[in-house]
Structure 1
Amino acid sequence: MKKWSLLIVLLLSACQLETEETRQPVEPSTPVTEEQQPDTNEPSTPAEEETVVDLHDYFLPNQSSAQFEGMGNEYATFTLKTQHLYEDYVGTYEDNGGTVMQRIYRIEDERIVMILEEAEAYDADFPPLSELEALPEIETYLSLPIEEGTEFNGWTITAIDQTIDTPLQTFDHVFVLSQEGADQSVVERYFAEGFGEIKRVFRMPGGEGEEYEVTSTIASLE
């Protein structure tokens, strides 16, 4: 009997010990501080938007006729007719009362090149596409990027985001191409998106500090 009583006591002690071990308090996890929490309110950085320039926008509209008002020379006044020949070819006729100048341009990804320039083009017509594709370039007319300091073919972009008043309208975001000659003369071309060339200026130093200037400015568009 004493043997069985001792066995029961030992079993009860073992069960009590196991219960106490399983009931050991669990230490709480380390709380996440405010500094460790992810900042869900932090705005994401937007991807930089790349400005895409379509050089087709630097010509007057198809089948348009623009009148340029001249000052300083009788041939500074002229009519400019523009025709978009094919997807990447534009032709112009410039009539200043003394002669008619025909020009054809090819539009590439990064520049515009002139591929034909012909004076006395009174009865000239525009060649077919197969002939235009075979014409070599004469010179670069305009090149990207449109930013100050860009240089090509002796021209330099000397100003951007200019505001220019003309008889047609006020143009914003105009950029200026400049070329300086060996005789200290300066030629400037002013370009506006959606119109192309809207103004030309020619300056030549004169005697006694004077300056000779000829300007052609867009005045009407049909």
Structure 2
Amino acid sequence: MPSTSSDDTTSVGQISNNDKSKYGREIEGLVTGCNENNLSLNAGKTKEMIIDFRKRRGERSPIYINGDDVERVSCIKFLGVRITNHLSWTSHIDVTVKKTQQRLFFLRRLRKFVMSVRLLTNFYRCTIETKLSECIMAWYGNCSAQDCKKLQKVECAAQTITEANFPSTDSIYMACCCRKAANIIKTHCTLVMTTYNLFHQTAGMEVEHTSQQVGEQLLSSHY
């Protein structure tokens, strides 16, 4: 039977008091689960990242998958977001700014071709703003002031080229958070109303059933 590769599979383990047994069992469980479900786990593409904020950091022995050692990295890309072992977003923002600056070149070219402001605005929103706001709820709230300035430079450059006003990254972040909160509240209210309706219907059926039983008992006792 052909096997399927297990892409974007993540396993998180904790090492407490230098006890690596639990972490080792987590890796073994991952390998066993992939084998049982006919999934191919490529050790060459698998990366290990250790997050340790202790002052005294001991040496960690490498882990092995099917006899192959797993590469240990300090930065990993997960679902489009770059995460470092220091939980800093500078690496992710640097890559994002570099890509958006490359797209600013095409925006300048369109400006030289005397394109309309509307077309330039659409190009910015589709190619640059979407990249700046990609997974913004995961990283923007904890980025440093220096990283925020890097994003602002891209926005200012785009506004200078197009001579139009665009929403700042901060406003985009707040709008995304508000929409997410509204969806959570809406889902929660819908769940509460559904539970209430089910409880109300169940209670009504129980009352009706109880009334019918009482009526039958009264009739049988009368005759």
Superposition TM-score, scaled by structure 1 size: 0.19
Higher relative contact order (CA 8 A, sep 6+): 1
Higher Cα radius of gyration: 1
* Greater share of residues in strand: 1
* Greater share of residues in helix: 2
Superposition TM-score, scaled by structure 2 size: 0.19
